[in-house]
Structure 1
């Protein structure tokens, strides 16, 4: 990887990732929602949950696997990852494409729909503990004892750079884009988005649940800190701490941090179903909740893209009103 600080990935890494995953991941569909819904601002939805595994995570996973195969650093033991669900799904999908074994550690609280999809992708699924942090510890031990290549749900330069390819695709479809709104868990999507936003001159709004605020707390403290995790969106956004890369880019680019309540997330998710018939997970609805709750109020004429990042959800609780 090329980095400006010998530590953190940059937009050059995003461009390299774009070349690696071209033709592997799906281009993101983008469409504008009804005019006047948010004053004179123009709001676009980016549907990256339409990737093969159901989330934007395919981008980072495809880049990670492709980079290690090209470098000859993929071991016979395959890959191992800890995940709340989506990163594991993407890793399993990317590994399966190349006949590589994937072992995925999940919390015991992981949604059943994600566990079932993991097994369908051929992953060896192991559920440990009640939180992502416990699954991550078990995955690290597995990598040490078996020699499997350790991937990460968000804190890896290939993963973050792969995620950064999303904004470049959105920008191509929305000329004059001013702002992109993304939900934040551990910070992989945010970090990649920020690298690209810095190059393209786009503002980033980083949205987190009030009780899953790893990036917000790090920005407030000026360093990475542990936070409590308690949210309806914790299965995808429930990281106890953000990455150093995410904090670095949050401090470097025009970042607006916004917090939303679980009620606002539920409302935004229901709104997407009721008005668009889009069934997304709570983590994906978190980004839209910043607009619908007023946590972020766009200016007149502002062009805003909202990333709907994942749809690995049980839609049975979505009932049209």
Structure 2
């Protein structure tokens, strides 16, 4: 979906050939083969992320004009890619007017060397490529979540004064038993506290579950300059962090889908409990669910927490409708 949105944002009369890569390693190999005079580079990718691609370009002396297009909008992320040699940064989803302005500012529109007839054929080929790109629901929703995840991370980075490392989100449809097994395997033996916050609006509903590892609460308090004096202070700390992450992430998802979600009050599902107990207490509510998993890790800290967005089964049809409109 990210590639389809970006291709649609390119200037229609720009006489260039377009090559696509599904991950950083493929992209780097294409550049080595001379296919990337201008590179529009994502950061959060499988195999090899955007930072690693930029470092490899520098190490190998490859001449490519790189503009980063990413949902990771942390100030530190933008600074890092510029230090690694990127010409510019555009936040996702790319705005055609902004992309055109950046290409002009760096004199990249003049790199296309084709004549008008060939440019017309290339435009037709571009449109045909777009028509052939079939984007499935999970891929599309993963990209929407990727953008939302980046915005939430930017807020978290400001609050904690750290850099937040972002993974590719996982999107799956689970029966409650499968969800139970997936979570239990991931958090085996951990003592956890979870904060749950419901949301509803425009035919979409569900619950967000933010899972904290008890061993890391004191470290988070130190970063936020909180004094932990008893369980009440711990609870307030976790509820505050939950409001930042859950609120920012769901708001960004709703904006992309042209919807509005109302959030309930965050609630502690349990303190110092194994994940199996948290699931057992709530499995009647979750049943079959669209589950989005995001793991936030704080660079240089032994801290990470997991955000699960659990959409009701009835929400999937509405989300599919919204996504199809986006892609049309």
- Would you say same fold, with TM above 0.5? no
| TM-score where L is the length of structure 2 | 0.29
